[in-house]
Structure 1
Amino acid sequence: MLHIDIHSFSYKKGGIPKDETGNGGGFTFDCRGILNPGRVEEYKSQTGNDIGVQEYLETKTEMPQFLDLVKKIVSINIDNYLGRDFDNLQINFGCTGGQHRSVYSAIKIAKFIEEKYGNKVEISLHHDEQHQLNHQ
């Protein structure tokens, strides 16, 4: 079974997560080119797991187009890795603080992979800066 580790992280705080499997990485997507909801007062204390932030990203930014491209790219590798019986893939999403854009992206891609591949993969979702979300 293919195990997929998905991380949201902060470029400023912790940097790109290390691949603990020994494979040397996977994908790292930079979300800093998307408008930051953290600059809007009502969203500053929220995360990408909150409805208001999600609606902002979905309606006021290019996040939907960004994630459509990410879905296409990661699907190519997941299909290939499944066909070759690979064990691990890591997918990282980084933004400035690891709170809004990267959290949202990691959640949405995890859901996409789960819906597309079901029990062919095992997904671990890690929010490196938003630890309280790791226990939901």
Structure 2
Amino acid sequence: MQNKLVIDIHSFSYKKKGIPKDDSGNGGGFVFDCRGILNPGRIEEYKSQTGNDIGVQEFLETKTEMPQFLKSVQSLISISIRNYLDRGFENLQINFGCTGGQHRSVYSAIKTAEFIRQNFPDAEVRIHHDEQLHLNLSSISDN
């Protein structure tokens, strides 16, 4: 029996801990820098929120280039996911970093997990919000 492809998605802060280590031992994967997207954390009403909050999500979807950014990310990762599934690989790590690991990276991790679950049901997706640990409980995979 072939093992399932496990995709670990991290949101992280470049300022605090930096790029997450790949604990699978395989190395590689993807690191996407979200700092080129307008930061909702600089707007007073969003400062205490995260990328998991509706207000931040609506801001990123309507006032920034985040939809275009994620469309490009989805195109890139799909190539590897299809290939890894076909070849029986067991691990892939996808990382999203921003300044504080609170808004843009959290949103990107959540939306990317949704995309993968919808388009690649044979993969198991796990989200790790490295700076927003309280969100990890609500991000446990349904797989």
- What is the rounded CA distance, in whole Å, between the counterparts of 1:110 and 1:79 in structure 2? 15
Alpha-carbon shift at residue 71 of structure 1 (Å): 0.3
The aligned length equals 135
CA RMSD for the aligned pairs?
0.4
Q: 2:40 aligns with which of 37, 41, 44?
A: 37
Q: Which runs of 5+ in 1 are unaligned?
A: none
Contact preservation (8 Å) 1:18, 1:25: no
Whether contact under 8 Å (1:43, 1:52) holds in the other structure is: yes
Unpaired runs of at least 5, structure 2: 139-143
Is 2:67 the partner of 1:64? yes
TM-score by length of structure 2 reads: 0.94
The AA in structure 2 aligned to 1:45 is S
Higher relative contact order (CA 8 A, sep 6+): 1
Q: How does 1:35-114 map to 2 (within 5 A)?
A: 35-114=38-117
State the alpha-carbon separation in 1 of the partners of residues 57 and 135 from structure 2. 15
Identity %: 74
- Separation in 2 of the partners of 1:121 and 1:100? 26
Distance in 2 between the 1:80 and 1:93 partners? 21
SS of aligned partner of 1:32: helix
TM-score (norm 1): 0.98
1:110 match: secondary structure: helix
Taking the aligned partners of 2:27 and 2:102, their CA distance within structure 1 comes to: 25
- Runs (4 or more) in structure 1 with deviation over 3 Å come to none
